[in-house]
Structure 1
Amino acid sequence: MPNTKKPDSSRRSERSRQAIFAATRAMISEAGYGKVSIEAIAARAGVGKQTIYRWWPSKGTLIFDSILALSEDAEGQGIALPDTGDIEADLKLVMRATVAEFADPDFERPIRALTTEIINDLDLVTQYQEKLARPMDDAKKARLRSAQQAGQLAADADLDLVLEVLYAPLFQRWLHRSGPLTAEYADALVDITLRAFRP
């Protein structure tokens, strides 16, 4: 008896979406943002460019979603920082992982391309804040509040300022390529931040 089961269009769409994301990240890593076009991404992913334009209005939004998709495996579990009860150890673990990501060319090039786009695209800024930056900051501040309750951070510490002191130098060094991104550098940022905000 012939198989009359209809193809699962949602599964096919998801395969296409993942292929587009993979092609986007790979092409930016290989050629850089300026040399990548929607047409080239479509060809590499094996889809029509109309498919891409139906889902994403611009190259910037596609790049953003392709980066956001990297963390989709953790979806449903929520974003959370490690909490061993030792804020210094936990922050050093997180900062070392962050430094390693920014030093990895496969991660760094799409992020740099996204950063370039964000400067000129207010709609993309809004998406970035709502989908990525704010949830990440909320998770970080939840861990810092736990440290405050344990007496490891000053009870009156401004948590937004704590995050700026911790992350801004890293971002500045990465953005301007002004120094190496190492585990030792990550540890130093944690040490300086905790020295400033301990009780």
Structure 2
Amino acid sequence: MVTQPGKPAPDTTRRSERSRRAIYEAALALVGEVGYPKTTVEGIAARAGVGKQTIYRWWGSKADVLLEAFLDLGEQAAEAAGQVPYAIPDTGDLAADLKAVLRATVDELLDPRYDAPSRALTAEGLVNEQLGREFVAKLLEPNLRLYADRLRSAQDAGHVRADVDPRIALELFVSPLAQRWLQRTGPLSYEYTDTLVDYALNGLAPR
């Protein structure tokens, strides 16, 4: 490409990042408004103000777009809260660390930007096997691994019984929160998640 003398070349990196952000926002907004089945690559492209070919250049399907948009949303939320995205702190105080992460999770679940598209994707993942597998592999499993790793660290420090299975133990506080959010069986609050941690750890403490 030839540029005019004295004029800088267009910054394609910045333009691509703007397009990517617009696509993320469009995908999350659409799936929240019309649901996953009615969300299309064409609709995302039109709302984002980009060509359909731009989306297919970066992603293979609308599921790929939505899952990546979700990951990005989580990173932005963590950074805004001054936290490291997709990390659980290890201060030596297991209860405090778990309570901090679950409080941040409550904030995320109560955020309308997250709630509507997350419910749409979760519901669709129950009937769409491929999407369900990708949802677990890209979003759920990495987070569960972090909880398991933190519990193993607590085992090494003698704060959790050695015979405890971390993958089962994490369900004591992660699963009730997810159930309450999905089925709206009660309010989400810091008090609720703090209590989950207290109840769980009382059962995990060394005898």
Instruction: Map 1:7-46 onto structure 2 (within 5 A).
Output: 7-29=10-32, 31-33=33-35, 36-46=39-49
Q: Is the 8 A contact 1:32 1:109 kept in 2?
A: no
Instruction: Map 1:92-107 onto structure 2 (within 5 A).
Output: 92-107=99-114
Counting matched residue pairs gives 197
TM-score, normalised to structure 2, is 0.81
The runs of 5 or more residues in structure 1 that have no matched partner are none
Select which of 173, 186, 199 maps to 1:179.
186
Choose between structure 1 and 2 for higher RCO, CA contacts under 8 A separated by at least 6 residues.
Answer: 1
- Report the alpha carbon displacement of residue 102 of structure 1 after superposing the two structures with TM: 0.9
Instruction: Map 1:184-195 onto structure 2 (within 5 A).
Output: 184-195=191-202
Instruction: Map 1:147-166 onto structure 2 (within 5 A).
Output: 147-166=154-173
Select which of 63, 67, 71 maps to 1:68.
71
- Report the alpha carbon displacement of residue 96 of structure 1 after superposing the two structures with TM: 1.2
Which secondary structure state, in structure 2, belongs to the residue aligned with residue 157 of structure 1? coil
- Report the alpha carbon displacement of residue 32 of structure 1 after superposing the two structures with TM: 4.3
- Report the alpha carbon displacement of residue 109 of structure 1 after superposing the two structures with TM: 1.2
The runs of 5 or more residues in structure 2 that have no matched partner are none
Deviations 1:98-119 (A, max 9, x none): 1221122111112112212222
Q: Is the 8 A contact 1:92 1:187 kept in 2?
A: yes
- Report the alpha carbon displacement of residue 50 of structure 1 after superposing the two structures with TM: 3.2
Distance in 2, matches of 1:24 and 1:108, equals: 14
Taking a change above 3 Å as real, the CA distance of residues 146 and 97 of structure 1, as seen in their structure-2 partners, is: same
Deviations 1:35-93 (A, max 9, x none): 64433322221112332244344433322111012245689x77421111111111111
Matched, 1:142 2:145: no
Sequence identity, in percent? Answer: 50
Distance in 1, matches of 2:72 and 2:106, equals: 20
Match for 2:35: what amino acid? Answer: Y
Deviates more, 1:64-73 or 1:102-111: 64-73
